[in-house]
Structure 1
C-alpha cells in the first residue's frame, strides 16, 4: 500500500478550516457533515478536536439544535 504524503502545518490548518466550514454550513445535509468529519479526521487528531470545538462554539452561539 502506497504511503500518502505528509501535510505541512499550513495545509493542515486549511484542511481544518474547510472541515469546520463544511460541518457548520448545513447541519441538515448528512453527506456534507460526513465529508467534513472525514476531512477533519484525515488531518490529525488535533484537527478533529479543533473541528469539534469549532462546531461546539457555533452550536453554543445558535442555541440547541431542535
Structure 2
C-alpha cells in the first residue's frame, strides 16, 4: 500500500497517479482513467479531474493508494 500525503484540500486523480509513479505521463493517466482501470473508494470512476481527498482510497493495477 502506498500512503500519499495530500497538501491542500485535494489532488486531481491524474496528478495522484503521476505523483505516486504508477504512470509516467499525464496522458497515460488520462487513458487508464478513461478505460476504467482505476477505482476510487471501491468503484470504477472515469473522472480525470476527480478531487481525491484525505481518507480516500484509489486502486490501480494491484496497487492501493491511501490518501492521508
User: TM-score, normalization: structure 2?
Assistant: 0.28
Structure (1 or 2) with the larger CA radius of gyration: 1
Q: Compare the two structures and name the one with the higher helix fraction.
A: 1
User: TM-score, normalization: structure 1?
Assistant: 0.29
- Kindly indicate whether structure 1 or structure 2 has the higher relative contact order, using CA contacts under 8 Å at least 6 residues apart: 2
Q: Compare the two structures and name the one with the higher strand fraction.
A: 2
